Chain A
Amino acid sequence: MSLLSASVSLTRYKVEGQLETPILETIAAGLNKNVISEIDDRSLEKAVGWTSLEKPYQPDFTGSAFVYGNYLLFSLRIDRKTIAPKVVRKHAVIESDRRLAESGRPYLSRNEKERIRDQVMDRLNATVPSTPNIYDIIWNYEDAILWFFSNLKAANEELETLFLRSFDLTLVRLIPYMAAHYTSDLTDTEKDILLGLTQTHFTG
């Protein structure tokens, strides 16, 4: 659980939009719809999905297992298989040589080579176990604020995409302008001034 690590990274989001009531059931349905699926023994290279905070390898969103006080806690899991390019090349060359020997032709077309490479990747992916990466999420539904325990660009992008697909809600990163706009209680006039601001120079 990254949330319980000695040192964490954290990205904050504003959640835009409204869920259908009953809210907890809608959220559970969204989580179950995109729960992580195991890809070991399958030819898939990557899987992205939701998982349980306390049992990331046995996701369970039944009842209110993801509710902790006023917060909703679950995790984003990204499973990825990594195969060294040299391993792929080795198997592709072996397979290409075998086909050339069988057909008696002097060379393979570009399409045939690409197909061989894809088949090799599928075969290797089915034998390589995936590496799971788990990123915890704390969602304060009432305040429409979400904490994501990672600053990794790729993980944040996967979160934003999967969140929209699961709940039909948009996550807005609380970067400086957005934080000023959403969380600083500015009047409309102040928001207009904010839009026109330019950088201050503290020298001279």
Chain B
Amino acid sequence: MLDVAVAYNRFKFLGEEFLTWLWFVIEKDPVILKKADPDLTSLEIGNRIVLEKRHKRSVERITIKGENAGLEEAMLALQKGALVAELNLVYRSGEQKWQFTIKAESLNLSSFKIPKTAAPESPEEMEGFILEKIFLYDKILQFLDKLYKTFIKYRVATRWQKRDISLIKNWCRSVL
């Protein structure tokens, strides 16, 4: 087992490739999303996407934010070799909505919002209230785990070189 600090630096790209692949899946292969969570109604890019391109001694960073921001600049950055470093996503299931930002280098979540739940009216209701919150957080975490698992399985298989890379390349080229 690798040391955490070594693993963090050496395999940071795995998180960036995962988010880049996830963007591709959202656009071109949503069946994978549905397989990961049959309750899913939709998964969309939210109000923030950050791409990074590493040079030998510097990092070029492109941030696109705003509720209805176009993703053309992001796609252009992708075509120039950048990868997704942060992605805000909106997950919907029926009438319920979750929103969160996932960071590639750590897979940490921030700005994580879950559907509103009824506030407890007595101390006895507190445990149920907290467990419902946990369930709502867990729903997204399990969904992300399944997607990451799928990505990693593809990534270590020969299909990545033979199939997935060219599909993602073609998607990048076809958009603009």
Contact = CB atoms under 8 A, between A and B. Distances in A.
Interface of A: 3-4, 6-12, 53-54, 68-69, 71, 73, 138, 147, 151, 172-181, 183-186, 190, 193-195, 197-204
B156 A193 contact: yes
Contacts of B80: 203
The number of chain B residues touching the other chain, given as a range, is: 35 or more
B28 interface: no
Interface string B140-176: 0100010011001101100010000100110010000
Contact of B134 (A6, A138, A184, A198): A138
A4 B133 contact: yes
A177 B2 contact: yes
Nearest to B80: A203
Interface stretch (B29-37, B39-47, B58-66, B110-118): B110-118
B1 A69 contact: no
A202 B172 contact: yes
A176 B152 CA distance: 10
The 6 closest A-B pairs by CB, nearest first: A177-B11, A176-B14, A177-B7, A176-B15, A199-B13, A184-B152
15 contacts: A54-B126, A71-B134, A138-B134, A147-B141, A176-B106, A177-B7, A179-B148, A183-B145, A183-B148, A190-B156, A193-B156, A200-B17, A202-B83, A203-B81, A204-B169
Given A176-B12, A185-B149, A197-B155, A10 B7 contact: no
Nearest to B54: A199
